[in-house]
Amino acid sequence: MIEIRIHGRGGQGNVVAAYLLATAAFEAGLYCQAFPAFGAERRGAPVVAFVRIGKQKILRRNEVKEPAFLIIQDPTLLHEKGLTTGLMKGGGILVNTKLTSGDISAAHGEEMIALPATGMAVEAVGRPVPNVALLSAFLSLTGIVPHTALRKALSGRFKGEVLDKNLNLVEMAAKAVDKGLWKEVAHAASA
């Protein structure tokens, strides 16, 4: 079973990101679980959501404390103490930032992969919502679920022009990271 923690701010589509990733896993024939850890429900407040993906039915319902992967929707959250706490040894961090992977890693003293997801979303969809681009990049990095499954998950949520724009965004973001870079980590986590 692979456990993922998604950090973002209220209004960035954090819960939607978790639901989309889990739905994509379902579309790929896997078991999934996604749930938010709601705090104060207001725009801009730090929010966390959890995703579990596995080959067998998932029974546990506790919060994800030792994720294999972190998806950070807002780079300013990296200044919060303990954000990366519990990340599995060798686990991956994907950050929405304009900086390069090298620069963001150097700035925080931890290996991270950067994706300018907000910019991509503005370009492709016209809205600064980074979640879909991050998910697409995440699937490229890990290979845990094919992009076709994410497309299916998106078509369950969006229609018409909005869907088409999001599918373009999936294409754009999928190519922006090293395909299969985290494949072994994902494999080890799911074993």
Partner 1 sequence: MRQALEGSQAIAQAVSRCRPGVVAAYPITPQTHIVENISKLVADGDLKTELVSVESEFSAASVVLGSACAGSRSYTASSSQGIMLMSEVLYNISGLRVPVVLTCANRAVGAPLSIWNDHQDSMAVRDSGWIQLYCVDNQEAVDTTIQAFRISEETEIPVMVCMDGFILTHTLEVVDIPDQALVDKYLPPFAFKRILDPKQPISIGTLVAPDFFAEVRHSQHQAMLKSEKAIIEADRDWKKLTRRGYGGLLSEKGPKDAKVGVMTLGSIGGTLAEALDTQPPRRKTKLINLRCFRPLPVAAIQKACEGLTDLIVAERAISPGLGGIVGNEIRAALAGMKKAPKVHNVAVGLGGRDVPLETLNDLVDWAKTAPDTSFSVFDAKLDKLPKEDR
Least distance (Å) from partner 1 to the CB of residue 73? 18
Contact call for residue 42 and partner 1 (CB under 8 A): no
- Say how far apart CA 119 and CA 130 lie, in whole Å: 8
> What H or E segment, with its residue span, contains residue 15?
helix 14-27
Those residues with Cβ within 8 angstroms of residue 4's Cβ, 6 or more apart along the chain or in another chain: 21, 50, 51, 52, 53, 64, 67, 68, 69, 70, 71, 138
Show the site string, 126-165: x = touches partner 1 by CB under 8 A, - = not: ---------------------------x------------
Contact call for residue 23 and partner 1 (CB under 8 A): yes
Q: Give strand pairing partners of 138.
A: none
Show the site string, 58-97: x = touches partner 1 by CB under 8 A, - = not: xxxxxx-x--------------------------------
Residue with tokens 């790929």: 28
Contacts with partner 1 by CB under 8 A lie at: 15, 18-19, 22-23, 25-27, 31-36, 38, 57-63, 65, 153
